[in-house]
């Protein structure tokens, strides 16, 4: 169960220390890889083999790896238009209405992001930057027991707002047959996506990165996934763009004794149910409040469907940290740079200005993480593992490339010839200097 830590030094050595090495994989992951690929094969090597095979052998390799890893070969890979529309019809009206609300709010939020090209004559001639949408984007959507239709909304909508011409989706089929989750099909139908492929794991990333007879090559791949999806994105980066390398999800809640312990407990449980590597951490100034939260967690966890996952997550990576004051709590959270940072404080607005490092900042007791997960509007695809120090949430600019444009007039060109040539000669690049001096009047 979740532990209360009163010594900050202990917290920094344990739950606040991201000390997992990239090669520290759980035993079940390593045994699964060796079962399929042979003894001594690392996850990185396994992914590299899949990528190479798909690059060289296209659809045949997709069939082979889908059979070996997932146990089924989808036929066809692409979901038919009839299945897309029928999936929509099989989802409850209440769920469809909720997704429409989410879609509208997410689209409204991302349309407000400032994105525009510009020109200037201040430097002579006309110079500027053009904002050009990517031509084709691939979106990976996790499937299985947690079919994240919400991630499809979050990844697709900013791409559409940016003006991306074509969007394709890869998502694993169900174990019992060639059927993608109806909720995902419904979301794709609502978004107007026409190309959905029943492909998961590293082979899906390979298909989108290299292209096959069935799956078109994309310019950028976005969306969360498991370890093998992340390793595949890492290995294809440079041949195709990616949104980021996402690790286990994480939340830090900073709360004082004015917060509702039942609400805080529920928020920690919501985070912990993602997977056993999720981090759910509370930092508080009140030991009494900490005990109330722990008691509430103990009561609520009994009824959860993913109780075992939650228990393991809270035991291994969660915790409640006691600090002397709010300033210390906010400072520790900011240094940790979590994916989600919640300020449940009496004067949360005042302390929010002290936060510089978080994927998403939640200010006040009503601003709970689950709202952004689904319907609030901001994107829930966020930097993890402390990368909020230098990374941003998925946004419209992730789907736009910037092209600089230069139109020099003769007067400006004449002014720049000698300086350009001098710098070129200082770099021992006389052909560069010649190209400038040839234009000397």
Q: Name the β-bridge partners of 400.
A: 133
Q: Name the β-bridge partners of 168.
A: 138, 195
As given in the structure block, the two tokens for residue 161 are: 């707002």
**Residue of 110, 250, 274, 339 with catalytic role:** 339
DSSP SS3 for 196: strand
Active site residue 340: yes
Q: Output the CA torsion 361→363→365→369 (10° steps).
A: -20
CA distance 432 to 417: 11
Q: What would you report as the CA-atom Rg of the chain, rounded to the nearest whole angstrom?
A: 25
Signed CA dihedral, 387, 388, 389, 395: sign only: positive
CA distance 228 to 73: 19
If you search the block for the tokens 């045994």, which residue do you land on?
31
**Residue of 274, 340, 369, 380 with catalytic role:** 340
Which positions ≥6 away from 305 have C-beta within 8 Å?
Answer: none
The Cα diameter of the chain in Å comes to 84
CB 191 within 8 A of CB 160: yes
Nearest to 55 by CA among 312, 196, 235: 235
Signed CA dihedral, 18, 24, 25, 26: sign only: negative
Residues in the chain: 441
Which positions ≥6 away from 267 have C-beta within 8 Å?
Answer: 251, 253, 280, 342, 368, 369, 370
CB 317 within 8 A of CB 355: no
User: Known catalytic residues?
Assistant: 339-340
């Amino acid at each position: 169960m979740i532990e209360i830590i009163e010594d900050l030094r202990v917290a920094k050595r344990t739950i606040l220390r991201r000390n997992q090495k990239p090669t520290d994989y759980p035993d079940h992951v390593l045994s699964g890889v060796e079962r399929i690929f042979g003894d001594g094969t690392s996850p990185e090597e396994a992914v590299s083999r899949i990528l190479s095979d798909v690059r060289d052998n296209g659809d045949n390799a997709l069939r082979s790896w889908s059979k070996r890893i997932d146990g089924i070969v989808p036929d066809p890979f692409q979901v038919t238009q009839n299945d897309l529309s029928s999936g929509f019809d099989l989802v409850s009206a209440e769920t469809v209405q909720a997704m429409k609300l989410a879609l509208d709010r997410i689209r409204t939020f991302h349309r407000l992001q400032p994105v525009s090209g510009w020109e200037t004559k201040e430097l002579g001639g006309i110079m500027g930057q053009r904002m050009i949408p990517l031509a084709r984007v691939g979106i990976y959507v996790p499937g299985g027991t947690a079919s994240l239709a919400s991630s499809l909304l979050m990844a697709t909508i900013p791409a559409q707002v940016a003006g991306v011409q074509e969007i394709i989706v890869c998502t694993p089929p169900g174990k019992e047959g060639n059927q993608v989750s109806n909720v995902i099909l419904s979301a794709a139908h609502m978004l107007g996506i026409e190309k959905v492929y029943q492909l998961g794991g590293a082979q899906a990333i390979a298909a989108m990165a290299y292209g096959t007879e069935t799956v078109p090559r994309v310019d950028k791949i976005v969306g969360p996934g498991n370890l093998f999806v992340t390793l595949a994105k890492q290995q294809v980066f440079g041949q195709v763009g990616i949104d980021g390398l996402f690790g286990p999800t994480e939340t830090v809640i900073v709360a004082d004794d004015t917060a509702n312990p039942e609400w805080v407990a529920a928020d920690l449980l919501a985070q912990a149910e993602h997977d056993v590597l999720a981090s759910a951490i509370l930092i508080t100034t009140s030991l009494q409040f900490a005990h109330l939260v722990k008691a509430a967690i103990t009561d609520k966890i009994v009824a959860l469907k993913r109780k075992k996952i939650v228990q393991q997550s809270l035991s291994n990576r969660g915790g409640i940290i006691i600090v002397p004051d709010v300033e210390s709590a906010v400072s520790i959270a900011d240094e940790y740079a979590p994916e989600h940072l919640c300020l449940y404080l009496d004067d949360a607005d005042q302390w929010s200005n002290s936060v510089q490092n978080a994927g998403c900042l939640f200010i006040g007791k009503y601003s709970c993480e689950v709202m952004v997960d689904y319907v609030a509007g901001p994107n829930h695809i966020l930097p993890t593992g402390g990368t909020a120090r230098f990374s941003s949430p998925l946004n419209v600019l992730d789907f736009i490339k910037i092209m600089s444009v230069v139109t020099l007039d003769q007067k400006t060109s004449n002014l720049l010839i000698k300086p350009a040539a001098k710098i070129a000669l200082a770099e021992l690049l006389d052909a560069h200097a010649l190209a400038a001096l040839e234009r000397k009047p």
